[in-house]
Amino acid sequence: MNVKGKIILPMLVVSTVIVVFWEYINRKRPEVVTVTQWNAPVVWEGTYNRDILEKYYAKQKLTVGLTVFAVGRYIEHYLEEFIISANRYFMVGHKVIFYIMVDDVSQMPLIELDPLRTLKVFEIKPEKRWQDISMMRMKTIGEHISSHIQHEVDFLFCMDVDQTFQDNFGVETLGQLVAQLQAWWYKANPDEFTYERREESAAYIPYGQGDFYYHAAIFGGTPIQVFNLTQECFKGILQDKKNDIEAEWHDESHLNKYFLLNKPTKILSPEYCWDYHIGLPTDIKIVKIAWQTKEYSVVRNNV
């Protein structure tokens, strides 16, 4: 796969070293896990130096992509606020391409973007069940990476639409393969996680295995790494369909299986995707993205 740019590897090495080094030197967050057992940084507020990272990445002239899906009533309920908040807080000062996937282009809101921001809208096939929409996005993302995204961006994030940015989501999040900790499970024991526990599913994770519970609302990395993730997850989804089984949490179950076998090189703390229904514990310093109210009875055809 011919990805954009030839400076990704040194960029990744330098950014990872900076994040880990800063954490070890300053020890500002002793109350939380900041480095995994496989030495991947877990990014919390206070574990990185934004000025150092911005100075480095400013020289690279990178482009970051962001995909988001909005179908049916999700368009009118969530899409406009998502784009407006992303325009304000996502990768400020860097070139960004928003890839908006909708099932009805005529409902696309008109939004004026800041300089360095580009919006690309694509119409996708509607699905009858929200579960199928959720799972088919893996196939769609992979197809778009293969056909054009790999040539257009250096890094790519994929996000759910029913959330809003509340603070800067910047270059400290960039990595080769980036995972997001799920806000409700980041303090739990792995045996408590809602992994897929049925052996018949391709997403099966047995008790006694697992590192973290990852949230499918945000994942990212370089285009090739995101492509590999989407391909493997979709392969597992198809295998389950063939065996007449559906993983408990659909694409998120397959995402967690993928990250068990392919360790993320960077993990984002729950500050990057927080649910205020939990409250606001002292270890959550700055909420970068917040969940929207989940109005499933309104936005989903089948609940």
Active site residues: 252
**DSSP β-bridge partners for residue 220:** 157, 178
Pick from 103, 83, 201, 16: nearest CA to 8: 16
SS (H, E, C) 156-218: EEEECCCEEECCCECHHHCCCEEEEECCCCCCCCHHHCCCECCCCCCCECCCCCCCCCEEEEE
CA gyration radius for the chain? Answer: 18
Q: Are 21 and 170 in contact (CB under 8 A)?
A: no
Q: How far apart are CA 273 and CA 215, in angstroms?
A: 9
Residue 17 parent element (H or E): helix 8-26
